[in-house]
Amino acid sequence: MAIYRLLIVILSPLIFAHLLWKSIRLKQPRFLLQRLGLKLQHIPQNCVWFHCASVGEVNTILPLLHELHQRHPEQPFLITTNTSTGAEIIAHQNLPWLHHAFLPMDWNLTTLSFIRRLKPIALFLIETELWPNLIVLCSNNGIAVNIINGRLSVKTTGANSWVRSVYHQVLSQVSHIYVRSQTDQDNYLRLGAGREQVSILGNLKFIPPASINAPSQTITRRDYVLVASSHHDEEYQIARIWNQLNRNELLVIAPRHPERREHIIKQLKQIDGIDTNTLALRSHNDPVTGQTRIYLLDTVGELMQWFAPAKLIIMAGSFSHRGGHNLLEPAHFGKAIIFGPHMESFVDESQLLLAQNAAVQVQSFEELGTAINELLDNKNARLQLEANVKQTLQPFARIVNDYADVIAPQL
Question: Does the residue 408 lie in any domain?
Answer: no
Q: 291 and 216, same structural domain?
A: yes
Pair 271, 357 in one domain: yes
For residues 236 and 153, membership in a common domain is answered with: no
Return the HEC string of the chain. Answer: CHHHHHHHHHCHHHHHHHHHHHHHHHCCHHHHHHHCCCCCCCCCCCCEEEECCCHHHHHHHHHHHHHHHHHCCCCCEEEEECCHHHHHHHHHHCCCCEEEEECCCCCHHHHHHHHHHHCCCEEEEECCCCCHHHHHHHHHCCCEEEEEEECCCHHHHCCCHHHHHHHHHHHCCCCEEEECCHHHHHHHHHHCCCHHHEEECCCHHHCCCHHHHCCCCCCCCCCEEEEEEECCCHHHHHHHHHHHHCCCCEEEEEECCHHHHHHHHHHHCCCCCCCCCCEEECCCCCCCCCCCCEEECCCCCCHHHHHCCCCEEEECCCCCCCCCCCCHHHHCCCCCEEECCCCHHHHHHHHHHHHCCCCEECCCHHHHHHHHHHHHHCHHHHHHHHHHHHHHHHHHHHHHHHHHHHHHHHC
What is the CATH number for 111? 3.40.50.11720
**What CATH number did the domain enclosing 259 receive?**
3.40.50.2000
**pLDDT grade for 404, boundaries at 50, 70 and 90:** very high
- On whether residue 158 sits in a domain, the answer given is yes
Q: Which of 179, 202, 225 is the last residue of a domain?
A: 202
- In this prediction, residues 83-107 reach a mean pLDDT of 93
Output phi, psi for 117, to 5 deg: -75, -40
Query: Are 334 and 300 members of one domain?
Result: yes
Answer yes or no: is 405 within a domain.
no
Asked if residue 58 is part of any domain, the answer here is: yes
- Residue 103 in any domain: the answer is yes
| Spatial CA neighbour of 49 closest among 87, 88, 75, 73 | 75
Domain that holds residue 112: 43-202
171/239 Cα distance (integer angstroms): 45
Examine the domain organization and report whether 195 and 322 are in the same domain: no
Does any domain span residue 12? no
Is the same domain home to 242 and 390? yes
Q: Which amino acid is at 248?
A: N
> Residues 165, 223: one domain?
no
pLDDT tens column, 145-177: 999 999 887 777 777 777 778 888 899 999 999
- Residue 254 and residue 194 share a domain: no
User: Per the domain annotation, does 236 fall within a domain?
Assistant: yes
Same domain, residue pair 391 and 322: yes
pLDDT tens readout for residues 297-327: 999 889 989 999 999 999 999 999 988 998 9
234 and 268 belong to one structural domain: yes
> Could you tell me if 377 and 267 lie in one domain?
yes
219 band by pLDDT with thresholds 50, 70 and 90:
very high
Task: Quote the mean pLDDT of the chain.
Answer: 93
pLDDT score recorded for residue 153? 74
Strand order in the sheet with 77-81: 98-102, 77-81, 48-51, 122-126, 144-150, 176-179, 198-200
Number of domains in the chain: 2
Q: Please check the confidence at residue 214 and state whether its pLDDT lies above 80.
A: no
Residues 158 and 217 in one domain: no
